[in-house]
A and B are shown apart, each in its own frame.
Chain A
Amino acid sequence: MATQGYQHVICDPTKCIGCRMCEYACSATKTGAFDPSLSRIRVVRIEPITMTAITCRLCADAPCITACPRDALTRSEKNGAILVDEDKCDGCGWCVEACDFGAVVLNPATRNAEICNLCEDQPEGPRCVQFCPKDALILATPEVLRQQARREVVARLFEELAAED
């Protein structure tokens, strides 16, 4: 699934400690209560040491948008986030099935699909990023990550060269 050039919340699995603070913070921000089942970011741990957090990746040609029979999903022109029209959405769940990342939540109380909106209503941006104790979560574009990876690998290379001297 190709991704857009928009920023989205990305987790570095080498830094993720599996604490699920992001789930608690997301659900508290969105619902006012701690309810990880309504968190729009979820931590997956494959026992015992493999873990990461997953949320909406703002796919290009987003399959959730295509799948919606009621045209309730649209892309924000501002930040590329997938927006859910609460009046149109009837909670049918086609978008849930269409998403390859399990990033769409169906809220049984509101009967709405809920997707990470990058906390665009929050002054400091995504709450999960702010609450991640280990900076495993960042808000970035894939291009920025590519640049970062290149810089890191070169830094490591020079460290190793220096160590050999």
Chain B
Amino acid sequence: MHSYTGRILHIDVGARKTWVQTVDAGFLKKYLGGVGLATRLVYDNTPAGCDPLGPDNALCFACSAFAGTTMPVGTKHGVASKSPLTGMIGDSLSGSHFSEMLKRAGWDGLVIKGQADEWTTVFIDDDDVRFLDASSLVGKGTMATQHALREEFGDENVRISSIGPAGEHLVRFALIDNDGRQVGRTGNGAVMGSKRIKAIAIRGSQPITVADPVGLLKETRRLIEITQGPGTEKYRVLGTPSNVLNMNKLGVLPTRNFSETVFEHAEEVSGERLAERYTVKAVACAGCSIACEHWGKVTSGKYKGAIAGVDYEPLFALGPNCGIGTMEAVLRLLQDADELGLDGMSVGVVVSWAMECYERGILSKEDCDGLELHFGNDEAAVALLDKIAHREGIGDLLAEGTKRASEKVGKGSEHFAMQVKGLEMPGYDVRGMKTFAMGLAVGTRGPCHNRSLAYEADVKGEVNRFTVEPGRGKIAKEKEEYAAVFDSLVLCKFLRNCFDDFFADAARIYTMATGIPLTAEELKATGERVWTLKKAFNIREGWTKADDWLPGRCLHDPMPSGPGKGVFITEDELRMEIDDYYQARGWTSEGLIPKSKLIELGLEDIAEDVGVDNGVMSIPASAEAAASEEAN
């Protein structure tokens, strides 16, 4: 077997036992790696209905099929578990050297279950797994933990994934960091913390072979050249922060907890300003020829010394969305979020929700431990991040995430709790992006710009972004599957303008690396299989149609300014789009998956678990839906 190792390492951190699962080429071809493989591992190793923060939840890592090779931006890994934020599938991706080392240690994936008695570092040294005392690392930040461990091992080749204080305190949106890159969303850091694993350290000594090294190296050089061209210019030159001014211009830059869509200080926190005054370095993930992450440093003022890698999503969340309009403050907040181990997106949105509660008098100064949580108060935000990560005072409430916090506080704050399924919204005001609005409502891990690329249709003008009509469901479906293929191979989506015919090219390169024959059609079908598997997991965990919906603010409050002034998405529009989407997916009108669909996708082994018999819905279908089913 090439590129793959065909082995999954299972670890029970409570019993301090390990075992090896071997997987064959047929299995790997079905799920590829990354999100696809990690999701399958979670599905198989997590009992239905388990507590996400209990010992039964399986924290699963899966390498890219290209990890450790020269395939540009192919050295990534996926992590998945049952999310403590959503109770559904929590899958997240990261690029980095950790992925390469996992593969070089001889593993395509890791499945970690159980719960240690004391804080532990799991050290995987090829086949040898050791459980080390991590008590001296408790309280340390993410990168500080990695630094301390590398010093302890005396070996810079050891690659580490670690959690910060947020993961230790089971903050529901805690992240896992590796070399300054993050497995950011859905709270996998809390799952790791619940197992009392402070860090996973890996050292691998094995070479990675590919089926056609000459071909792959040739392909690499071709792609390296293409990735220095116009297809990646946005990412190379300014990085994703270039979105700030673009979104502001479109009037979809979430500002002050999504209450506004245009930010008056957008220039100050833009990618242009970052490049002009603060950028010190562009840094790449392992094997990446693009280097999108622009690191900024503050050299004067009260945040002097702050340094952070800047991406648009955490930047929107902790900047405009909290009404914070200076780059210095944003850099400090980004650095703190990464080091404390908080998902910058979720924490930004939960802080902005608290700020709106404060402005409206729902939360008093006393409720906020004496902090004046006005929009734009950056010092209060800095203090709050620390409180959240340590669950101190009001931080304990906010560490539960926006959904739970708003349910507890009530008083109408649910209306502006900007979350779906419990996961906080990404940086687009979807009232003015109606295809993407539905894409966020139906997302399997919650609302996500990385899993649903439906925003492309809105932003590129493929559709009228202020209206809806039948057909948007099919667009959303195809964009989800396209994304799922990237996320499972794994390839970075910033390569997506670098292929003439993505499915054909990617399938060909996959075969070069693995030696496993794969056609473009098979690869495309994998996207649908992976997406459907994620949905199947959610159904098993109790998903209902009511979970596919948007926050009240998107559905009732007209946009106050910008090109979309006065626009919002009505409940009828959203319902129509969602029905259209279920139909495009071949699901029932209740959003359930027919057994025949699961069988068609090669998921016959889970058809009995979660599938419904055709024509026999768990809830009687409307005549209209039944007719459309028949037409299918």
Contact = CB atoms under 8 A, between A and B. Distances in A.
Interface of A: 17-21, 24-25, 27-28, 31-38, 44-45, 47-49, 51, 130-131, 133-134
Given A25-B70, A47-B143, A48-B180, A133 B224 contact: yes
Nearest to B97: A20
Given A34-B208, A37-B157, A19 B288 contact: yes
Contacts of B295: 48-49
20 contacts: A17-B283, A19-B285, A25-B70, A32-B209, A32-B213, A33-B213, A34-B68, A34-B208, A35-B104, A35-B206, A49-B297, A49-B307, A51-B283, A131-B70, A131-B221, A133-B228, A133-B289, A133-B290, A133-B291, A134-B291
A33 B209 contact: yes
A31 B207 contact: yes
B280 interface: yes
B193 interface: no
**Residue among A18, A32, A131, A134 with most chain B CB within 10 A:** A18
A21 B217 contact: no
Nearest to A38: B207
A18 B206 CA distance: 21
Given A25-B70, A48-B283, A48-B307, A17 B288 contact: yes
Given A34-B70, A133-B228, A47 B291 contact: no
B210 interface: yes
B283 A24 contact: no
Interface of B: 68-70, 72, 97, 100, 104, 143, 146-147, 156-157, 179-180, 205-210, 213, 217, 220-221, 224, 227-228, 280-291, 295, 297, 307, 309
A32 B100 CA distance: 17
Contacts of A33: 207-209, 213
A31 B213 CA distance: 11
B281 A49 contact: yes
Among all A-B residue pairs, the 5 with the closest Cβ atoms: A133-B289, A33-B207, A35-B207, A17-B284, A19-B284
Contacts of B207: 27, 31, 33-35, 38
Given A31-B207, A47-B180, A48-B307, A21 B70 contact: yes
Contacts of B227: 133
* Chain A binding surface SS class: mixed
A21 B213 contact: no
A50 B244 CA distance: 27
Nearest to B216: A28
Contact of B283 (A34, A37, A49): A49
Contacts of B287: 19-21, 24
A19 B309 contact: no
A24 B69 CA distance: 6
Nearest to A133: B289
A20 B307 CA distance: 23
A49 B309 CA distance: 9
A20 B327 CA distance: 30
Nearest to B292: A17
A141 to B, nearest CB: 26
A49 B224 contact: no
Contacts of B156: 44
Contacts of A28: 70, 213, 217
Contact of B291 (A17, A20, A36, A131): A17
B284 A34 contact: no
A108 to B, nearest CB: 9
Nearest to A130: B221
B69 A17 contact: no
B210 A20 contact: no
A51 B287 CA distance: 15
Contacts of A37: 157, 205
A37 B220 CA distance: 20
Nearest to B296: A49
Contacts of B206: 35
B286 A19 contact: yes
A41 to B, nearest CB: 14
